[in-house]
Amino acid sequence: MIVKKLPDVIQILPDAVANRIAAGEVVQRPASVVKELLENSIDAGATSIKLVIKEGGKSLIQVSDNGKGMSDVDARMCFERHATSKIRDTDDIFHITTKGFRGEALASIAAVAKVELKTKTEAAETGVKVVIEGSDFITQEPCAMTTGTVFTIKSLFYNVPARRKFLKSDPVEARHIIDEFTRVALAHPEVAFEMINNDSNVFKLEVGTLRQRIVGILGSNYNNKLVPVAETTDIVTINGFVIKPEFSKKTKGDQFFFVNNRFIRSPFLNHAIESAFEGLLTKDSHPGYFVFMEVNPSDIDINIHPSKTEIKFTDERSIYQILRSSIKQALGKFNIAPSLDFDRDPSFDFPQPKDYTSVKIPSVNFNPDYNPFKENSGAKHEFQRPEKSERDTNNLQNWQKLYKDFDDFSSGKILPEKDAPLNFSDNVVKPRFFVIGAKYIVTYIRSGLVIIDQHRAHERILFEKFEKAHSTKQALTQNQLFPQTYEINSADFELLKEMIEELKVLGFDLDLFGKNTVVVRGVPALSKAQDVKALLDEVLEQYKNNVKSLKLPKNTSLLQSMASGMAIRSGQNLSDMEIDALIADLFACENPYHAPNGKPTMVNISTDELDAKFLKS
């Protein structure tokens, strides 16, 4: 019997292929390249860093720094996989104080782009220029330059078209780059940063304090929003700022955690801060913070995620409690959180008399002949109650009107006729309704009760109106008496560039005006907002939240954001006429039963359900 040997199928991948596969973890989009290059500049000891991008980083990413530079040999070796100057053995991983250490970033970037490196050390007479395309070494030659390093990345994913087609639009990719730039710049206020996007200066940040850096990135209006936090213990040192509760947002955009100057994401620590804000925020709001924590490198593990944005602590519980306590203390210290002072009685807070003034004994006037049980014969004394005025009569009538509906409830007049049809739009008894907590509208149909969420109902109404306006391009605009100019942060400004034409179609009359500034001449006629800046901020926040969490298409996300941002709020009191109009408009919608996000606008409780609940009791 002849045994046929199976062919060998396992083989070692060529370096170029292995690098492209590894690049999938490290280089997900242009922002990933920016993050790695900026962190390399920080590790090189740079005090000034400049970032230049074009077309959202797809065609050009250039990072220049004045760091210590590299030698000729290091300039070539840095593109090899797992080539690093940061670690020598496994124990070094647990004492890392630098940004990068695994030696994968540059090899991965060079595998999917055209890379040019220019670098020079202070001791060298000339610099060196290295060119690599798709992991293929092209050239290495001397060049003239000052001390430092310049990385130029062109045509990202030019040799991996499948990856390139999944990149988003230029404004979206630019916004992701701004996010990464912001995180690095916040962590290092001692370093000057500059960013240029398509020949337009986005940031020019001078060396300064953390507060100055926050204001420089997010805008001057943040200066009065910040509450300082500081705590020093043997386990962790905490510094930074939290944003005052009244400036909280619907999304988690202004949340920054840094551990040993490395940006991280931690739901665990975020929960500690949210619990410290307990009772100060509305249900759908999130606290903003810029929290820096210094922990012994041996007490954390940063090598659990390819992008190193997640870490593990050896003593999570203690850090949680210390962080929570420090935030609560900061809020209390600056009179943000309510506090009680048990050391004094406010009833004794009266002004002290001056030394030269005498104390006057208060006098009491009374009528010694007054008898409350004696009927007055006609003569009026000074203590007699005056006759009822017209105001008293009107007040009495108004109080009686207040309880009129309760008489209707007790008499059964509020119930619909027995022969009323089952159709919702005809079956709602107008204006027979009442409101619970300025949030839920309760009305009656023959089969039971209908409870309507006023915010979700208005969202549905606005969504369908905006949807129609978008398709017909006939949205109405409510012009402002005077044009208003607003400053917004750079990330939102880039987002606004992407949305501006769609916003105009939906009724906004606005234009970009200089750096990070927008001028608003009109808002959609459907909007009832008095604060135009707050309205615009709300629409942008909702849009970012929809795109990030719901993964919605651009148009759908924008329509939902407009509807949510302009809808009446839970807790907002409505007049009877407004409630009538809301109910009528809701049942005139194509889909009155669900908000744009799919959540129900109303709950129907039938008489059978009510009977069942009473029978169980």
In DSSP notation, 35-102 reads HHHHHHHHHTT-SEEEEEEEGGGTSEEEEEE-S----HHHHHHTTSTT--SS-SSGGGGGG--SS--S
Question: Same fold for the domain at 15-208 and the one at 213-333?
Answer: no
287 closest CA partner among 318, 329, 219, 241? 241
CB 113 within 8 A of CB 29: no
* pLDDT over 50 at 431, yes or no: no
Which residue, chain included where needed, has tokens 């900026």? 38
Decide if pLDDT at 357 tops 80: no
Walk across the sheet containing 509-512 and list its strands: 477-487, 517-524, 509-512
CA–CA distance, 524 with 529 (Å, rounded to integer): 10
Of 552-561, 566-575, 581-590, the least confident: 552-561
**pLDDT interval class at 12 (50, 70, 90):** confident
Average of per-residue pLDDT across 469-495: 84
pLDDT digit string, tens, across residues 52-84: 999 999 999 999 999 999 999 989 988 887 666
Residue 263 burial by Cβ neighbours in a 10 Å radius (0-12, 13-18, 19+):
buried
Work out the pLDDT band at 447, boundaries 50, 70, 90.
Answer: confident
> What is the DSSP code string of 507-546?
T-EEEE-STTEEEEEEEETT---S-HHHHHHHHHHHHHHI
Is 226 in a helix, a strand, or coil?
strand
Query: Closest by alpha carbon to 156, among 55, 21, 35?
Result: 55
pLDDT at position 399 is 47
Domain boundaries, the chain: 15-208, 213-333
Say how many C-beta atoms besides its own lie within 10 A of residue 182's C-beta.
Answer: 22
CATH-assigned architecture of domain 15-208: 2-Layer Sandwich (3.30)
pLDDT classification of 487: cutoffs 50, 70, 90:
confident
220 CB-contact burial (10 Å; exposed 0-12 / middle 13-18 / buried 19+) = exposed
- pLDDT at position 342: 45
Q: Are 120 and 148 in contact (CB under 8 A)?
A: yes
Q: What average pLDDT does this structure show over 254-267?
A: 90
The pLDDT mean for the chain works out to 80
Q: Which residues contact 455 (CB under 8 A, 6 or more apart)?
A: 439, 567, 568, 569, 570
- The average pLDDT across 552-574 equals 82
pLDDT at residue number 564: 85
* pLDDT at residue 343 greater than cutoff 50: no
pLDDT tens digits, one per residue of 497-553: 888 888 888 888 999 887 788 999 988 888 877 778 878 887 887 787 776 655 667
15/107 Cα distance (integer angstroms): 10
Torsion of CA 482, 484, 485, 489, to 10 degrees: -170
Nearest Cα residue to 87 out of 245, 243, 302: 302
**What pLDDT is attached to residue 474?**
78
pLDDT for the residue numbered 608: 86
- In sequence order, the β-bridge partners of residue 65 are 49, 149
Residue 418 pLDDT: 39
Owner of token pair 């940040």: 205
pLDDT of residue 85: 62
What is the rounded end-to-end Cα distance, in angstroms, of the chain?
83
What is the residue type of 405?
Answer: D
Closest CA to 260 of 288, 291, 233: 291
Residue 99 vs residue 467, higher pLDDT = 467
What is the phi-psi region of residue 155: left when phi exceeds 0, alpha when psi lies from -120 to 50, beta otherwise? Answer: left
Asked if residue 492 has pLDDT above 90, the reply is no
Q: Note the CATH number of domain 213-333.
A: 3.30.230.10
Say which range, 24-33, 296-305, 584-593, has the weakest mean pLDDT.
Answer: 296-305
Residue 383: predicted pLDDT: 46
Q: What percent of the chain clears pLDDT 70, i.e. is strictly above it?
A: 76
**Mean pLDDT value across residues 379-397:** 52
Q: Is the pLDDT of residue 412 over 50?
A: no
| pLDDT score for 303 | 58
How far is residue 173's CA from residue 153's CA, in Å, rounded to a whole number? 15
pLDDT at 351: 54
> Are the beta carbons of 61 and 55 closer than 8 angstroms?
no
The pLDDT tens digits for 179-231 are: 999 999 999 999 999 999 998 888 999 999 999 999 999 888 888 899 999 99
CB 454 within 8 A of CB 439: yes
User: What is the spatial distance between Cα 524 and Cα 538, in angstroms, rounded to a whole number?
Assistant: 14
Contact 537, 523 (CB under 8 A): no
Burial 189-216 (b: 16+ CB within 10 A, else e): bebbbbbbbeeeebbebeeeebbebbbb
Q: Quick check: 272 and 266 in contact, CB under 8 A?
A: no
Q: Please tell me the least confidently modeled range out of 101-110, 111-120, 244-253.
A: 101-110
Q: What was the pLDDT predicted at 413?
A: 43
| Size (the chain), residues | 617
Burial state string for 361-389 with b = 16 or more CB within 10 A and e = fewer than 16: eeeeeeeeeeeeeeeeeeeeeeeeeeeee
For 134-261, where are the E strands, in sequence order?
A: 136-143, 148-154, 192-197, 200-205, 226-232, 237-243, 255-259
Q: What does the alpha-carbon distance between residue 448 and residue 607 come to, in Å, rounded to a whole number?
A: 5
* Residue 5 clears pLDDT 50, i.e. is over it: yes
Cα distances (angstroms) measured from residue 382 to each of 117, 336, 366:
98, 50, 10
Which residues on adjacent β-strands are paired with residue 452? Answer: 441, 602
Give the per-residue pLDDT at 422. Answer: 39
Q: What was the pLDDT predicted at 396?
A: 53
- Predicted TM-score (pTM) of this structure: 0.71
Q: What is the pLDDT of residue 253?
A: 72
Asked if residues 248 and 285 have their Cβ atoms less than 8 Å apart, the reply is yes
